[in-house]
């Protein structure tokens, strides 16, 4: 009995220590685990994470000024209210690694106040801070990587109050080398996943291996909450998959095909960040897209239950960009409680239909026009893999209105590269 009592007291003390270390270090009470369960069990990213990442718009020029102003804009633009929470600093926040202590420093010129102060600022806005590192000796931008320093870095990130880690795979053995690089990738990601767990702080783990080692098969097991399934999406519509080079929006859509069965709550396929609103400005370039193409990216990423990481400068957005990324009805499809990824049910002459089961017996259907001209499509319920006897009401989430549809089928008119999305509810 005494022994049991002792164990309970010890357990409680340990729990308080974990809570306190996250309290003291983040300085943000809203960010805290509220029950022991949220610390011990992992209830993170139960819906696809939503936020912003510095890479597409700022690349090497990320700074604390940019991060703070972006946090302000997240609130003032209404993006926070629409569900966008994480502000992720990608590569180039780092300075040197101390050769004696091994401590990873931040870049003192661009982050003069330090990451802890930055995290406190972001938390004071009711938002969360993300950071970036790499499973190799260096990051993709030649900054110090975390290989060999995983526990030390994870502890440091937790002490700073970081809520999210994007973990890249540069400076590891190349795909196709003689090494068993599947096993090596799994081991490297598990080392960091375990180190993050050991901090006792709720840190979302974003695996960025780009897909060649099929992270959808092992991402969850190593502690990941999302995993990239393809290479970087550039600000362009279509470009074939090519290792270490940008791909187009359409290429990423095709890469998501047939991966729906690997998605679960807390474990999402990530087709990379959004390029919506870049218009060939910012760091990554790519030529730019039309508004229809940007709307297709938003539509399909929502149909996929993909993480929604904005990639434009949200301090200066056009009305067209705002209309796309602040559409709460398409976001609701992304965040739907069932957590399913859409799958392709129809493909004919460049027009396709995708279906996403939603909570409450509803379905979202997206029609995508890959062609360079306008298209009108009519699909029977059977073609959409729906019950042909079903009577339904169709709601157009871009027009924001109920639409009359002939019974037993669905019709959509699309401009070139446009996607239309309907929510069907049974009558």
139 binds ligand GLA, rule: CB under 6 A: yes
Q: Return the residues of window 277-296 that contact ligand GLA according to CB under 6 A.
A: none
User: Least Å distance between CB 321 and ligand GLA?
Assistant: 20
User: Least Å distance between CB 90 and ligand GLA?
Assistant: 5
Tokens linked to 379: 């699909």
Nearer to ligand GLA, 126 or 141 (CB): 141
141 binds ligand GLA, rule: CB under 6 A: yes
Q: Which of 134, 153, 232, 270 is catalytic?
A: 232
Task: Compose the 29-68 pattern: x for residues touching ligand GLA by CB under 6 A, - for all others.
Answer: --------------------------x-------------
Nearer to ligand GLA, 231 or 363 (CB): 231
Task: Compose the 85-104 pattern: x for residues touching ligand GLA by CB under 6 A, - for all others.
Answer: -----xx-------------
Total residue length of the chain: 427
Q: Return the residues of window 311-370 that contact ligand GLA according to CB under 6 A.
A: none
- Is 168 among the residues known to form the active site? yes
Q: Return the residues of window 181-210 that contact ligand GLA according to CB under 6 A.
A: 208
Task: Compose the 377-416 pattern: x for residues touching ligand GLA by CB under 6 A, - for all others.
Answer: ----------------------------------------
Q: Which of 28, 42, 168, 235 is catalytic?
A: 168
Of positions 120, 153, 159, 232, contacts ligand GLA by CB under 6 A: 232
233 binds ligand GLA, rule: CB under 6 A: no
SS3 string of the chain? CHHHHHHHHHHHHHHHHHHHHHHHHHCCHHHCCCCHHHHHCCCCCCCCCEEEECHHHHHHHCCHHHHHHHHHHHHHCCCCCCCCCEEECCCCCEEEECCCCCCEEECCCCCCCCHHHHHHHHHHCCCEEEEEEECCCECCCCCECCCCCHHHHHHHHHHHCCCEEEEECCCCCCCCCCCCHHHHHHHHHHHHHHHHHHCCCCCEEEEECCCCCCHHHCCCCCCCCEEECCCCECCCCCCCCCCCCCECHHHHHHHHCCCHHHCECCEEEECCCCCCCCCCCCCCCCCCCCHHHHHHHHHHHHHCCCCEEECCCCCCCCHHHHHHHCCHHHHHHHCCCCCCCCEEEEEECCEEEEEEECHHHCEEEEEEECCCCCEEEEEECCCCCCCCCCCEEEEECCCCEEECCCCCEEEEEECCCCEEEEEEEEC
Among 137-145, 299-307, 343-351, 362-370, the segment contacting ligand GLA (CB under 6 A): 137-145
Of positions 67, 87, 131, 140, contacts ligand GLA by CB under 6 A: 140
120 binds ligand GLA, rule: CB under 6 A: no
Nearer to ligand GLA, 83 or 141 (CB): 141
168 binds ligand GLA, rule: CB under 6 A: yes
Residues of the shown chain interacting with ligand GLA in the complex, contacts defined by CB under 6 A: 55, 90-91, 139-141, 168, 208, 232
- Which are the catalytic amino acids? 168, 232
């Amino acid at each position: 009995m005494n022994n049991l009592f002792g164990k309970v007291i010890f357990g409680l003390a340990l729990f308080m220590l974990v809570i306190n270390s996250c309290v003291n270090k983040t300085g943000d009470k809203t960010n805290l685990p509220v029950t022991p369960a949220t610390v011990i069990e992992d209830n993170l990213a139960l819906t696809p994470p939503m936020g912003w990442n510095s890479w597409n718009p700022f690349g090497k020029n990320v700074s604390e000024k940019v991060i703070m102003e972006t946090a302000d804009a997240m609130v003032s633009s209404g993006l926070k209210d629409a569900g966008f929470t994480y502000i992720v600093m990608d590569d180039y926040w780092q300075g040197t690694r101390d050769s004696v202590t091994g401590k990873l420093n931040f870049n003192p010129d661009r982050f003069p106040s330090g990451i802890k102060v930055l995290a406190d600022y972001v938390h004071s806005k009711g938002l969360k801070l993300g950071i970036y590192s790499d499973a190799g000796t260096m990051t993709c931008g030649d900054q110090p990587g975390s290989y060999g320093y995983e526990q030390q870095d994870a502890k440091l990130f937790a002490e700073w109050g970081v809520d999210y880690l994007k973990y890249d795979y540069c400076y590891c053995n190349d795909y196709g080398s003689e090494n068993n690089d599947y096993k090596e990738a799994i081991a490297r990601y598990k080392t960091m996943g375990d180190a993050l767990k050991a901090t006792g702080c709720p840190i979302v783990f974003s695996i960025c291996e780009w897909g060649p080692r099929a992270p959808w098969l092992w991402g969850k097991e190593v502690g990941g909450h999302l995993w990239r399934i393809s290479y970087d999406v550039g600000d362009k519509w279509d470009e074939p998959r090519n290792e270490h080079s940008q791909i187009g929006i359409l290429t990423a859509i095709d890469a998501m095909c047939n991966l729906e069965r690997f998605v679960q709550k807390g474990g999402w396929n990530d087709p990379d960040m959004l390029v919506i609103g870049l218009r060939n400005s910012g760091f990554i370039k790519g030529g730019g897209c039309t508004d229809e193409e940007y709307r297709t990216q938003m539509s399909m990423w929502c149909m996929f239950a993909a993480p929604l990481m904005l990639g434009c400068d949200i301090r200066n957005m056009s009305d067209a960009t705002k209309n796309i990324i602040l559409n709460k009805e398409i976001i609701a499809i992304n965040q739907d409680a069932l957590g399913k990824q859409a799958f392709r049910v129809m493909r004919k002459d460049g027009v396709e239909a995708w279906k996403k089961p939603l909570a409450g017996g509803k379905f979202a259907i997206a029609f995508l026009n890959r062609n360079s001209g306008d298209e009108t499509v009519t699909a029977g319920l059977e073609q959409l893999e729906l019950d042909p006897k079903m009577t339904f009401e169709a709601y157009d989430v871009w027009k924001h209105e109920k639409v009359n549809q002939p019974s037993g089928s669905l019709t959509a008119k699309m401009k070139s590269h446009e996607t239309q999305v309907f929510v069907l509810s049974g009558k």
